Amino acid sequence: MRVVTDPAELRQASPPPLVLVPTMGALHAGHLALVRRAREAAGPDGTVAVSIFVNPIQFDRAADLEAYPRPLEADLDRCREAGVDLVLAPQAGAMYPPDRSVTVLETSLSKTLCGATRPGHFDGVCTVVLKLFNLFRPAAAVFGEKDFQQLAIIRRMVRDLDVPVDIIPFPTVREADGLAMSSRNLRLSQEQRADAPRIHRSLRHAAGRPDREAMVAAAREGIESPLNRIDYLELVDAETLQPHPDPGRRALLAAAVFYGEVRLIDNQPVAPAAG
């Protein structure tokens, strides 16, 4: 496995096709599932690449950036065990010149959900992902559906900017009790960790309610506990991410929930309304 810290070294060619798994590190079984999907797409002779970079420009809270776990050596060990061929693990200074002045903006899909409560977050996401695409020149990249809004925005960016990368979605990977796997789970207390599976359980149960108001109310009732506070809870169109879903299309019931300073996100697809 080749480990690169200087992005310029990526100019050295890797066997095509190259399939990228962008991460911020603290790798868990969910990330490794993305790596396995990348290997399927790349084939035995292609290149599976992983980026490990805690991207500072997508954080809206300095404390969250500072507290984000960075177990680089353990991450590299996991990549080796998973058969990753190439890892980029740069410092922020190697990715962003001190006088940088260009940012990628998305102006529609980022106005709801996480985009509404984390100003500038998706500007940072789009900017770093486009940089990674330019550096790696991948044939494809794998993104998890837990970050559904991020996946939708990256797809839109690729479409609108004619970026020649195939975006491969991957279903949310969960713990045995239903909690969506996340690097942030490491920061939960034992009591918070025991409580957090209520997020997915409540979204899943509420998704069967007959109308929007009943769905959101049922999800809120199930999620709320003395240990958390809801950042947002919304039913949106799964394609446009707007808050009034087209009844003929799939919707998405999505939530972000704080446990102390730890913010967890999850979502549940909702089938189109019966005709």
SS (H, E, C) 175-229: CCCCCECCHHHHHCCHHHHHHCCHHHHHHHHHCCCCCHHHHHHHHHHHHCCCCCE
Taking a C-beta distance cutoff of 8 angstroms, is the pair 128, 20 a contact? Answer: no
Q: Kindly state the helix (H) or strand (E) to which residue 49 belongs, with its residue range.
A: strand 47-52
Would you put residue 26 in left (φ > 0), alpha (ψ -120 to 50) or beta?
left
The closest of 110, 108, 102, 107 to 130, measured between CA atoms, is 102
Measured distance CA(14)–CA(138) in Å, rounded? 10
DSSP string across 76-143: HHHHHHHT--EEE---HHHHS-TT--------SGGGSHHHHHSTTHHHHHHHHHHHHHHHH--SEEEE
Residue among 31, 121, 205, 244 flagged as catalytic = 31
For residues 240 and 253, what is the distance between their CA atoms, to the nearest angstrom? Answer: 13
Q: Is 107 left (phi over 0), alpha (psi -120 to 50) or beta?
A: alpha
Among this protein's residues, is 205 annotated catalytic? no
Q: How many CB atoms lie within 10 A of CB 128?
A: 21
Place of tokens 């209520």: 198
Q: Which residues are catalytic?
A: 31
